[in-house]
């Protein structure tokens, strides 16, 4: 059976939150350049609400949930300390409130299921080109969705639904990759499996003609 076309995900960093996120990582990039770090010395991948925002503008987030995927750092360079020290202020375009974006040092991809191929599907931020010492990637929509099945709060489910409604995830792919990720998940497998079933049923009941 031929799968329906998926809309190619695009990242929008032009919003206030998007600009704050770029600015946060530009501060880190500048420090790495001062240390003459090699191109791609540090690779970071962003999950969570910030990633959802860049794809959908669904909501704003004040926490950067990201993983340091790879790091070859100069001696004495404390990357995590630097990330924690560069909060970025931005004005929420909806409420007009001044917000502060912070890097979450507690975030870990092992908090929920994660598919082994997540880096290969991720999208690079064009603001950090190949020659930059810092490569910042945004997790693919399907991998963000899978990572949110662990906690599956109302907000997590809302984020997954927003990515599905945007057409960035095929339900068949979400089911296949999520079940593969849950199969090797070290936590209790029943909650993310139940969350996946609930989300797919809810979404398919409210859409017409989507592949299941």
159-204 confidence digits (pLDDT tens): 999 999 999 999 999 999 999 999 999 989 999 999 999 999 999 9
Q: Residues with Cβ < 8 Å from 79, sequence gap 6 or more?
A: 28, 42, 68, 71, 73
* Mean per-residue pLDDT over the chain, rounded: 93
pLDDT of res. 74: 83
Q: Read off the pTM.
A: 0.93
Q: Tell me the mean pLDDT in the region 95-106.
A: 95
Could you report how far apart the first and last alpha carbons of the chain are, in Å?
A: 12
More confident: 208 or 175: 175
Among 179, 176, 178, which residue's Cα sits nearest to residue 144? 178
Residue with tokens 């090699």: 38
- Is residue 61 pLDDT above 90, yes or no? yes
Q: What percent of the chain has pLDDT over 70?
A: 95
* CA 53 to chain CA centroid, nearest Å: 9
Instruction: Report d(CA 63, CA 105) in Å as an integer.
Output: 10
> How do residues 18-33 score in pLDDT, each as one tens digit?
999 999 999 999 999 9
Instruction: Report d(CA 80, CA 77) in Å as an integer.
Output: 9
- Is residue 210 pLDDT above 60, yes or no? no
Give the DSSP letter of residue 133: S
- Is residue 59 pLDDT above 50, yes or no? yes
CB-based burial label for 59 (10 Å; 0-12, 13-18, 19+): middle
């Amino acid at each position: 059976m031929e799968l329906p076309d998926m809309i190619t995900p695009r990242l929008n960093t032009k919003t206030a939150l998007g600009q704050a996120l770029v600015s946060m990582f530009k501060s880190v990039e500048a420090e790495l350049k001062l240390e003459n770090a090699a191109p791609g010395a540090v690779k970071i991948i962003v999950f969570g609400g910030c990633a959802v925002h860049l794809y959908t503008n669904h909501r704003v987030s004040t926490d950067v949930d990201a993983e340091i995927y790879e790091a070859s750092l100069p001696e004495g360079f404390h990357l995590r300390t630097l990330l924690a020290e560069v909060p970025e202020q931005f004005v929420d375009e909806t409420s007009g409130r001044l917000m502060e974006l912070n890097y979450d040092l507690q975030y870990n991809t092992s908090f929920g299921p994660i598919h082994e191929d997540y880096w290969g599907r991720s999208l690079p931020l064009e603001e950090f080109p190949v020659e930059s010492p810092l490569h910042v990637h945004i997790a693919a929509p399907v991998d963000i969705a899978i990572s949110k099945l662990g906690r599956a709060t109302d907000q997590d489910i809302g984020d997954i639904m927003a990515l599905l409604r945007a057409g960035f995830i095929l339900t068949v792919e979400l089911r296949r990759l999520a079940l593969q990720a849950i199969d090797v998940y070290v936590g209790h497998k029943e909650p993310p499996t139940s969350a996946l079933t609930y989300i797919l049923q809810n979404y398919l009941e409210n859409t017409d003609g989507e592949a299941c």
